[in-house]
Amino acid sequence: MSTIKKLPTGVPGLDVITYGGIPQGRTTLITGRSGAGKSILSLQIACNLARMGIKTVILSIEETAEDLVASADILGFDLAGRVKDGMVVLTDLTRPMDGPTHVSGNFDVEGLVHLVSELVKKSGAAAVVLDSATALFSPRPSEAHLRNHFFRLVSSFRQLGLTAVMTAEAPADYGQLTTLGVEDFVCDTVLVLRNLVDGERRRRSIEVHKYRRSPHYKGEFPCTMTMQGLTVFPLDARQVDELSEDARLPSGVKGLDEMTHGGWLRDSIVLVRGPSGSGKTTLAGMYARAGALRGERVIYYGFEETKPILLRNFTKVGLSLKEFETAGNLKVECRYPEATSPEDLLVELRAGLAFFKPSLIVVDSISSIEHSTSERGFRQFIVGLSSLLREHSRSALLTQTIGTFVENDAAPPYLSTIPDAILLMDYSRESHGLERTMAVLKMRGSEHSSAEHRMTIVSGGLRVEPLGKGSERG
Q: How far, in Å, CA of 66 to CA of 239, rounded?
A: 43
351 and 404 both lie in a single domain: yes
Q: Taking 50 as the threshold, does the pLDDT of residue 473 lie above it?
A: no
The mean per-residue pLDDT over the stretch 347-359 comes to 89
pLDDT at 190: 95
Q: Taking 80 as the threshold, does the pLDDT of residue 281 lie above it?
A: yes
Q: Which residues pair with 92 in a beta bridge?
A: 60
Residue where a domain stops, chosen among 207, 232, 257: 232
190 and 261 both lie in a single domain: no
Query: What integer best gives the mean pLDDT of the chain?
Result: 87
Q: Taking 70 as the threshold, does the pLDDT of residue 383 lie above it?
A: yes
221 and 261 both lie in a single domain: no
The dihedrals phi and psi of 78, each to the nearest 5 degrees, come to 55, 50
Q: What share of the chain is helix, strand, coil (3-state, %, to 5)?
A: 30, 25, 40
| Structural contact between residues 260 and 446, judged by C-beta atoms closer than 8 angstroms | yes
User: Which residues contact residue 35 at a Cβ distance below 8 angstroms, ignoring those fewer than 6 apart?
Assistant: 195
| Structural contact between residues 38 and 225, judged by C-beta atoms closer than 8 angstroms | no
What phi-psi label fits residue 262: left (phi over 0), alpha (psi between -120 and 50 degrees) or beta?
left
pLDDT at 413: 63
pLDDT digits (tens, 9 = 90+) for 113-128: 999 999 999 999 999 9
pLDDT at 87: 97
Residue 167 belongs to what H/E stretch? Answer: strand 163-169
pLDDT at 146: 82
The mean per-residue pLDDT over the stretch 160-168 comes to 96
Which CATH number is 266's domain given?
A: 3.40.50.300
User: Which residues contact residue 363 at a Cβ distance below 8 angstroms, ignoring those fewer than 6 apart?
Assistant: 301, 303, 385, 396, 397, 398, 399
Residue 242 located in a structural domain: no
pLDDT band at 7 (very low <50, low <70, confident <90, very high): very high
pLDDT band at 245 (very low <50, low <70, confident <90, very high): low
Q: How far, in Å, CA of 279 to CA of 14, rounded?
A: 40
pLDDT at 182: 66
pLDDT band at 307 (very low <50, low <70, confident <90, very high): very high
Picking from 459, 460, 439, the residue whose alpha carbon sits closest to that of residue 450 is 439
pLDDT band at 96 (very low <50, low <70, confident <90, very high): low
| Structural contact between residues 232 and 204, judged by C-beta atoms closer than 8 angstroms | no
369 vs 339, higher pLDDT: 369
**Total residue count of the chain as it appears in this document:** 474
The mean per-residue pLDDT over the stretch 182-205 comes to 82
pLDDT band at 106 (very low <50, low <70, confident <90, very high): low
210 and 258 both lie in a single domain: no
Residue 243 located in a structural domain: no
151 and 111 both lie in a single domain: yes
Q: How far, in Å, CA of 31 to CA of 37, rounded?
A: 9
**E strand residue ranges, 402-446:** 421-430, 433-443
132 and 167 both lie in a single domain: yes
Question: In Å, how far are 9, 90, 470 from 280, measured between CA atoms?
Answer: 42, 56, 27
256 and 296 both lie in a single domain: yes
| Structural contact between residues 347 and 226, judged by C-beta atoms closer than 8 angstroms | yes
208 and 344 both lie in a single domain: no
Q: Taking 50 as the threshold, does the pLDDT of residue 1 lie above it?
A: no
Residue 237 located in a structural domain: no
Residue 94 located in a structural domain: yes
The mean per-residue pLDDT over the stretch 73-80 comes to 94
Q: Which amino acid is at 402?
A: I
pLDDT digits (tens, 9 = 90+) for 317-330: 999 999 999 999 99
Residue 96 located in a structural domain: yes
Number of domains in the chain: 2
Q: How far, in Å, CA of 423 to CA of 434, rounded?
A: 19
User: Which residues contact residue 186 at a Cβ distance below 8 angstroms, ignoring those fewer than 6 apart?
Assistant: 27, 150, 151, 154
Q: How far, in Å, CA of 296 to CA of 292, rounded?
A: 5
216 and 278 both lie in a single domain: no
**Side-by-side strand order, sheet with 269-274:** 330-334, 298-302, 360-364, 395-401, 269-274, 421-430, 433-443, 453-458, 461-466
292 and 186 both lie in a single domain: no
Residue 282 located in a structural domain: yes
pLDDT at 211: 95
316 and 217 both lie in a single domain: no
253 and 191 both lie in a single domain: no
pLDDT at 409: 52
Residue where a domain stops, chosen among 169, 198, 232: 232
Picking from 56, 418, 454, 12, the residue whose alpha carbon sits closest to that of residue 226 is 12
Residue 197 located in a structural domain: yes
**Residue 404 belongs to what domain range?**
248-466
pLDDT digits (tens, 9 = 90+) for 424-455: 999 888 777 788 999 999 999 899 998 999 99
pTM above 0.85, yes or no: no
Residue where a domain stops, chosen among 232, 258, 279: 232
Residue 395 located in a structural domain: yes
Neighbours of 110 (CB within 10 A): 11
